[in-house]
Structure 1
């Protein structure tokens, strides 16, 4: 009998990475699961394994993977939000918001359709799989396929919004769809006289003589660029011009969004000076009509991970997707109020707007209706367009900013190292997960007159111990100090004297 050939770690890594890149979570999780069992696997593979499990909604297994990654690589802080997102997802699915989210089946295909936004008498969206017999006479379908998925490139299409049976589709304009590679999404000004859209172009760099001799492979990355088109005197879209800060040989610039007055342009980029993999940036219109030097929207919006797909809602709020904040899956949709680099704390739109999959590109109207895009379970294709409606102007109502006046400090005994120390606010139904590591002090500000519980969940296990305590009756001059050990005590001391007063936790 022939011996079964052993698969190398490198080949497992390549296979898992391919599935991850095309968002095939199930196959990616299967192969990452095999990969992390290899003794020479890259530490980051454990992190990717957790991400794939989380995107499948396997939150307990994902938490275990994240905890193992933190323990092996001393990266507890890196995965805190990921673990907290697993806990939040279970809670939010059990307490869904009043938002009504439905698949717009008449626009979706078996492949990928997303980026829907309004246009006079219609809806503009992106698709990679429209067939010629679905389109109006004269419309085109790009025959060149995208190598990564073997699907056609995205183009922009206009759907007649008055048709609720067989949808009538046409190319938005040859001025947009003239480009060979991906085109979209597009953002319009309030009067639909200006359109900013994203174009994907290949890395045009040619290998140097030295690189050819050394057989260095040019990446072939396709980076994003922004273009703008304006309507001419005949109401036709004019030849687009490139955004002044495009630099595809070095970085991407895409996913435009305009402020309500049209004077601030928000976009996604991985240009130098950012805080993470991709950030939300902005540029201001100058007195002469040009656009100013891009500036980062700052750490309230951006994280060390990915932030993309900004849009400006009818209320002027920023909607965008993040992988770095506490969320249910891959990309979650968040909302923040402000402008430029001054923003309120982003609010997760929760379930059913967000799911374990990627949820992104939410657009809204004043009546509380809108569209979003998602690859959630139950869709018609890879990415689908969903309608979104909230009975009130905004269903996700920001809670009043709490009065945070009680400092809390905790150290963890060695018996609980690598465990998730989950601090839960009973009144607000929110919590935080801290990974216990040697020498770390957990610090956080607690609300007055509030009941809390600490749950200790060792890596890979179910919750083991819980500790109840309260801030009721405490003053702003008190500091709660805690050693989280099998024998639980809590200390309260004045800030100015730091003298411990012992009190049993009840």
Structure 2
């Protein structure tokens, strides 16, 4: 279970005692109160009622936030998209949408939304570009998993609820779970989920049966995760406790670390470790070095790098633990860094949202110990996924073990998976590789164009693939063999008539096609507004008084064969927006048909309808205007676009340079 899930379950439990009267409300003030108290599940129920009766951007945004906080990324995606349909939606919603899209495995869409976030808020543009790059990395890792690793859902260990953070206790395997057991009838459960509290369970090696540890360990509220020393006689585990003042619902509890020892074959609680300063912050997720002398744990104590950080303490000669020390910036980030683990050979593992990952929590390895680490590496797919992956433990061979994940296809909210590393793969003959590598720059200045959408169309089957140029203006595509392609750009800020034909037909060796787009800024385009091309109310035919002006456009295009036109038609505000949109499209097509009838090639004309979205005066819905004022909005504009030379394409390693 991820840190966010663990926290939300605890909050939900206290809510049924603190605010039962709010659960049946449809008052937005009650929803806001729950939202501020971090009780997102119950706030959702009220906000969604409010949204049905009085929809607004603010409520849609809070619904989206709630789903993000409770880790329902699919619902969060839906609601952030609804939020962004409102024109006054803050730009940071593009970032949150991109975050959940990435967790949903929609990397290209996430990348686009990160770039949009940076465009709309230049103060975060650098971060947006970095996150867009992370999406490209995550997509590559997903599509190119480590063939030397395998992963399998351990159905015998999992339930329909959450099962996570396995650790070895001698020959037994301890797991954290909120599963149902027959003997639990009548016990208290979570007020939100209807499931039992989190408890520590043991999978016994001798009979393969799973049973809860004794009630001295699993007492109070949530219990776990834990770690057990190599001699299997000492355990350190996490316990959650509430504040005595239940009215403090903004932060209803903290996590402690406790130590237990084995006596007569059973665990007995002995001491509370001294790390959490009387409940001023949390300590949790314990891990031990192989010799038991270094204890790693997670805390939000003051002085960290942000979120939850990983700390360590050393065991003193008298058996006490030293003061905690932060593990440093190689491990910790501004996001959550959690669930540490140390392999038998001393290699360090942890989960993080702050290092370059594939979506949610990813598992990382690092060389070193204490606060001296290097070579932090993402374990990549298949051990990691776009969802949360965490809580790894290794077997004696250091190549197999278990981890936790809420990836698609599991039995419950979080499941335990077994994995294997170091699988020998039979080498296959290398196949030819065909790649397009390109760069987009501004014509004249050669300044890289960031975020330009580049489209690759397969001429054999019509399929299109698109990418966005990176912070150096670069982009790339993989190509299939024996295939013809057309490559083109698409951006409102630049002329995008550049395109080039590429073909892999007949090429018998690996080839890289290099392409350069030199694009001019769209400020060089200009718009001609023919103010006296008007339309009668609810009509789209070209009137006689407009033909003279259209004839001038015809003559202009005949004299300028390198010109294409966008015919942009508008309506006044009367009638519904949907009807006016269709009417404007008919008006644009009517103007185009007139010019085609005069002999202009239809491929040089693009009709566009804008409906009532671009009025040129005050005559919006509900405003009284004269017929003459309304008629000013019923118009057609012609956007003249200059065609620039097409892209240069060459085959790497040859002297071929085609200028199409």
- TM-score, length of structure 1 as denominator length: 0.72
Name the CA distance, whole Å, in 1 between partners of 2:102 and 2:186.
35
Name the CA distance, whole Å, in 1 between partners of 2:187 and 2:383.
34
Deviation by residue 1:20-66 (Cα, 9 ceiling, x = unmatched): 22221111111111123334444433222111111110111111121
Match of 1:119 among 137, 148, 169: 169
Structure 1 residue 415 displacement after superposition: 6.5
Structure 1 residue 142 displacement after superposition: 8.4
Equivalent position of 1:261 in the other structure: 291
Equivalent position of 2:202 in the other structure: 158
Establish whether residue 324 from structure 1 lines up as the match of residue 354 from structure 2.
yes
Deviation by residue 1:196-229 (Cα, 9 ceiling, x = unmatched): 111122244466xxxxxxxxx7404433221111
Q: Any stretches of 5+ residues in structure 2 without a counterpart?
A: 1-50, 425-440, 455-467, 477-488, 500-515, 520-650, 653-660
Name the CA distance, whole Å, in 2 between partners of 1:302 and 1:332.
13
Establish whether residue 174 from structure 1 lines up as the match of residue 215 from structure 2.
yes
Q: 1:61 to 1:313 in 2, by over 3 A?
A: same
Equivalent position of 1:90 in the other structure: 139
Q: Give yes or no for contact 2:115–2:129 (8 Å, CA) kept in 1.
A: no
Establish whether residue 223 from structure 1 lines up as the match of residue 254 from structure 2.
yes
Equivalent position of 1:190 in the other structure: 230
Indicate the SS of the match to 2:155: coil
Equivalent position of 1:384 in the other structure: 415
Q: 1:283 to 1:419 in 2, by over 3 A?
A: farther
Establish whether residue 283 from structure 1 lines up as the match of residue 313 from structure 2.
yes
Structure 1 residue 188 displacement after superposition: 0.7
Q: Give yes or no for contact 2:176–2:200 (8 Å, CA) kept in 1.
A: yes
Correspondences of 1:378-457 after superposition (within 5 Å):
378-391=409-422, 416-417=449-450, 436=471, 454-455=474-475
Match of 1:18 among 66, 69, 78: 66
Establish whether residue 130 from structure 1 lines up as the match of residue 180 from structure 2.
yes
Please state which structure has a larger fraction of its residues in helix. 2
Name the CA distance, whole Å, in 1 between partners of 2:178 and 2:145.
32
Q: 1:181 to 1:41 in 2, by over 3 A?
A: farther
Deviation by residue 1:85-124 (Cα, 9 ceiling, x = unmatched): 3212222233221112100001111121111122234221
Q: Give yes or no for contact 1:230–1:237 (8 Å, CA) kept in 2.
A: yes
Establish whether residue 145 from structure 1 lines up as the match of residue 185 from structure 2.
no
After TM superposition, what 4+ stretches of structure 1 lie above 4 angstroms from structure 2?
139-142, 410-415, 417-421, 433-436, 456-461
Name the CA distance, whole Å, in 1 between partners of 2:283 and 2:272.
11
- TM-score, length of structure 2 as denominator length: 0.56
Structure 1 residue 68 displacement after superposition: 1.8
Deviation by residue 1:291-341 (Cα, 9 ceiling, x = unmatched): 111111111111111111111112211111111111111001000010111
Q: Any stretches of 5+ residues in structure 1 without a counterpart?
A: 133-138, 208-216, 394-409, 422-432, 437-441, 443-452, 467-483, 488-504
Q: 1:8 to 1:150 in 2, by over 3 A?
A: farther
Structure number with greater CO (CA < 8 Å, separation at least 6) is 1
Q: Give yes or no for contact 1:93–1:351 (8 Å, CA) kept in 2.
A: yes
Q: 1:119 to 1:285 in 2, by over 3 A?
A: closer
Structure 1 residue 19 displacement after superposition: 1.7
Structure 1 residue 460 displacement after superposition: 11
Name the CA distance, whole Å, in 2 between partners of 1:160 and 1:420.
56
Name the CA distance, whole Å, in 2 between partners of 1:83 and 1:141.
50
Structure 1 residue 187 displacement after superposition: 0.4
Q: Give yes or no for contact 2:449–2:469 (8 Å, CA) kept in 1.
A: no
Name the CA distance, whole Å, in 2 between partners of 1:391 and 1:460.
49
Correspondences of 1:343-358 after superposition (within 5 Å):
343-358=373-388
Q: 1:38 to 1:366 in 2, by over 3 A?
A: same
Q: Give yes or no for contact 1:71–1:418 (8 Å, CA) kept in 2.
A: no
Structure 1 residue 345 displacement after superposition: 2.4
Q: 1:388 to 1:415 in 2, by over 3 A?
A: closer
Matched pairs, number: 407
Equivalent position of 2:333 in the other structure: 303
Indicate the SS of the match to 2:269: coil
| Bigger-Rg structure (1/2) | 2
Name the CA distance, whole Å, in 2 between partners of 1:288 and 1:460.
70
Match of 2:275 among 232, 242, 245: 245
Structure 1 residue 282 displacement after superposition: 1.0
Deviation by residue 1:456-493 (Cα, 9 ceiling, x = unmatched): 899999xx999xxxxxxxxxxxxxxxxx9949xxxxxx
